[in-house]
Chain A
Amino acid sequence: MEFFSLQELYTYSKGITYLVMGAILVFMPLYWGFLTDREDD
């Protein structure tokens, strides 16, 4: 991918970063639930 300005580069990379962060914020509580759901058995 070619970027012609620093702003373009940052818009792209920060955009992906925020998406990944959002996914992590959703995923981690679900993973905690997966880890702990058999604890009461």
Chain B
Amino acid sequence: MKEILGRISDKVFEKQAPETGWFTPFNIIAGIILIIGGILTIMRFTMGLETVTNLDNNNPWGIWIGFDLLCGVALAAGGYVTSATCYIFGLKRFHSAVRPAILTAFLGYALVVLALHYDVGRPWRLPYPVFYSQGTSSLLFEVGLCVFLYLSVLFIEYSPAALEWLGFKRARNMVVRLTLVLTIFGVVLSTLHQSSLGALFMIAPSKLHPLWYSAYLPVYFFISSMFAGMSMVIFEGSLAHKYLHHKMDQTHLDESEGVALGFSKAASFVMMGYMGIKILGLAIDNNWHYLATGWGLWYLVELIGFVLCPALLFAAAHREKNLKFARAAALWTVLGIVLNRLNISMVAFNYHLPADQRYFPSIMEIGTSVFIVTLGVVVYRFICTRMPILHEHPDYKAH
């Protein structure tokens, strides 16, 4: 045990000697955000929600649920999508994208759980829904259980990279054998909780505007999570290529274009299918007349501007083998997913309330969300610069 802890602390505190010094612009800005986030955390937990948020009895869920939870879970879907592509569908040319995607998903879900603590409070009760009092007729229980299980799956899937870094060969080889089982379990769990987040709004039909409300919300959330994940893999791949190029080995550099263009094709097709099922939803509920209203215009901005257009850009990227188009379409799609989740949870939610009872996040809520995202980026960079995520460890065979 002492030897294990010693090895871990040696590795964590190993001098990385940055060539440009510690006070880079990124570190300064991130540091300021983290300090402000710490202050906001203390304020929230000592002075309560009212001090920090604009939440009330009409709007108990705000940006911490709408952005941190809903967008966080949707954008972390790259983990199960990439893993399924490589290990279930057998497309080994996507292998180099698996570890970065799994790491993003692991950090994404971990931060979702952290963000949930701010909203729910009483963090010591985190194990209660799973181990003490299961609300089996509740969608939130199902979301909580699936997130708990999936976070565990992601941790185990990520652990080979950490074990290779720490030099625990036997443990690493044991965990690697579980890859296929974990991938299958991950896909099953993701199907459950991605759709259940949509079901949370399906069970509130009177509160959501008819254009966004549908009995098929669970299906919409699950299908959109697929292309959200693919877009995030392309987007974070482009950021890694720019800022962590020196950490990528030749295999990753060679495969990165193929991954981006391959996911462009898949995302384009799934997004077109998603457009189709959204139009079907309008037809089933006979909601065409709402399109001619102000809400209808906003709905069309979301559907045409942020689903159809990036889908066509992805198609052009794949046909023309244009990486710039793929990256632009990926960012556009990510923004579209954020817009969709915010529309459902905040904009079109409680749409019938008068203006003075509508919700807008406070600056401190926004600050907390920015803090959580920055924390994720900082930890991601810490792990990628030290552990074999963007390159293969020379002592181990790729799995």
| With A13-B286, A28-B273 as contacts: A34 and B315 at CB distance below 8 Å | yes
A36 to B272, CA, bound (A): 15
Residue of A nearest to B275 (CB): A24
CB proximity of A15 to chain B, nearest CB, Å: 9
| With A24-B276, A34-B315 as contacts: A13 and B269 at CB distance below 8 Å | no
B279 proximal to A (CB < 8 A): yes
Whether B280 and A17, one on each chain, are in contact in the complex, defined by CB atoms closer than 8 angstroms, is yes
A40 to B284, CA, bound (A): 40
Whether A21 and B286, one on each chain, are in contact in the complex, defined by CB atoms closer than 8 angstroms, is no
B319 proximal to A (CB < 8 A): yes
B318 proximal to A (CB < 8 A): yes
Whether B280 and A20, one on each chain, are in contact in the complex, defined by CB atoms closer than 8 angstroms, is yes
Name the prevailing secondary structure of the A interface residues. helix
Residue of A nearest to B276 (CB): A24
Whether B265 and A36, one on each chain, are in contact in the complex, defined by CB atoms closer than 8 angstroms, is yes
Across the interface, B286 reaches (CB within 8 A) one of A12, A24, A27, A32, namely A12
Give every chain A residue within 8 A of B286 (Cβ-Cβ): 9, 12-13, 16
Give 1 or 0 for each of A7-41: 1 = CB within 8 Å of chain B CB. 00100111011001100100110011011111000
Give every chain B residue within 8 A of A27 (Cβ-Cβ): 272, 276
Whether A35 and B315, one on each chain, are in contact in the complex, defined by CB atoms closer than 8 angstroms, is yes
A33 to B279, CA, bound (A): 22
Whether B284 and A13, one on each chain, are in contact in the complex, defined by CB atoms closer than 8 angstroms, is yes
Q: Interface size on A (CB < 8 Å)? A: 18
| Chain B contacts with A in 240-274, Cβ cutoff 8 A | 265, 268-269, 272-273
Residue of B nearest to A16 (CB): B283
A38 to B284, CA, bound (A): 36
Whether A31 and B269, one on each chain, are in contact in the complex, defined by CB atoms closer than 8 angstroms, is yes
Whether A17 and B315, one on each chain, are in contact in the complex, defined by CB atoms closer than 8 angstroms, is no
Residue of B nearest to A12 (CB): B286
CB proximity of B158 to chain A, nearest CB, Å: 32
Give every chain B residue within 8 A of A13 (Cβ-Cβ): 283-286
CB proximity of B89 to chain A, nearest CB, Å: 16
Q: A21-B280, A28-B273 are in contact. List 14 more A-B contacts (CB 8 A).
A: A12-B286, A13-B285, A14-B284, A16-B286, A17-B283, A17-B284, A20-B276, A20-B280, A28-B269, A31-B272, A32-B269, A35-B268, A35-B269, A37-B319
- Give chain B's interface residues, CB within 8 Å of chain A: 265, 268-269, 272-273, 276, 279-280, 283-286, 315, 318-319
26 contacts across the A-B interface (CB closer than 8 A): A9-B286, A13-B283, A13-B284, A13-B285, A13-B286, A14-B284, A16-B283, A16-B286, A17-B280, A17-B283, A17-B284, A20-B276, A24-B279, A27-B272, A27-B276, A28-B269, A28-B272, A28-B273, A31-B269, A35-B269, A35-B315, A35-B318, A35-B319, A36-B265, A37-B319, A38-B319
Q: Give me the 3 closest cross-chain CB pairs, A-B, nearest first.
A: A13-B286, A24-B276, A17-B283
